[in-house]
Amino acid sequence: MKNLFIFFLLSMFFIQCNNEPAPTDDWNKVVDGIHVRTGLKDDPNIQTVIGACTTCHSAQLITQNRATRSGWEGMIRWMQETQNLTDLGQAEPVILDYLAKYYPPEETGRRKNLELYDSDWYELKL
């Protein structure tokens, strides 16, 4: 009985501490074209993407990947076949357009040149 009473007190304490309203002002805040909560690029269709994609996985899974439209479609098909993703219906072309526009393949190659700010540096002539 004593353990139950302690559990009750702790529960009430945590409920009281966590009973503050969520900061709704920042829920859909966009800074420099980035949706702050998700890290996704802002767009009129971002809520469709958030609703369809982030119910199962983090938005970081989107931002760390790059693909063509058909590549993104292949990922959607894989999720439908193996991860129980439901048919996206009319939202699918909207989502594919968004992903292909903002997260296309990037050419990777040699790293960018270092920017040297020290005025004493000079170019070597061979």
For the chain, what are the domain ranges?
28-102
The H-or-E segment that residue 25 falls in is none
Q: What is the pLDDT of residue 120?
A: 65
Q: 28-102 is classed in which CATH architecture?
A: Orthogonal Bundle (1.10)
What integer pLDDT is reported at residue 7 of this predicted model?
Answer: 47
What stretches in the chain show pLDDT beneath 70?
Answer: 1-25, 116-122
Do the beta carbons of residue 35 and residue 46 sit within 8 Å?
yes
Backbone angles phi, psi at 41, to 5 degrees: -70, 135
Radius of gyration of the chain (CA): 23
Report the pLDDT value the prediction gives residue 104, as an integer from 0 to 100. Answer: 95
pLDDT in the model for residue 73: 97
Model pLDDT, residue 28:
84
The CA-based diameter of the chain, rounded to the nearest angstrom, is 85
Whose structure tokens read 């369809």? 52
pTM of the model: 0.66
